[in-house]
Amino acid sequence: MKLQYRELEDGFRLIELSGKLDIYGVNEIDQSFIRHCVGDNLRVLVDLSRVSYVSSIGIPMLINTAKSVFQHGGKMALLSPQKNVEDVLTMTGIHLIIPIFDNLQSAKAKLLAS
């Protein structure tokens, strides 16, 4: 699992994940992922377009981090998951906690408006 991070305009943080979000992938990136999601009033976008698999260990990492972001006045959204990954996210109900968007522009517009 790889993690790339960058700051975008309008105060957004983009975290791009690639690989498998299974026990091995989570162990590789969880500390870095959490570190990039710490702060007040953050807007975090997590690009899942290059994540090919999400296991039951990856779901809590996303949910727990999102809850922490929300508790500090921030917002988090997931971007462009592959069909099989989106199916898992929908089946587990994560989309009810963290909104999922098809692209960066729609996610930014929605988070700025809310």
The residue ranges of every structural domain in the chain are 2-113
**Tell me: the pLDDT tens digits for 51-69?**
999 999 999 999 999 999 9
In the structure, what pLDDT confidence band is assigned to residue 9 with cuts at 50, 70 and 90? confident
- Picking from 4, 15, 39, the residue whose alpha carbon sits closest to that of residue 104 is 15
CATH superfamily of 2-113: STAS domain (3.30.750.24)
**Tell me: the pLDDT tens digits for 69-88?**
999 999 999 999 999 999 99
Provide CB contacts within 8 A for 40, sequence distance 6+.
Answer: 72, 73, 74
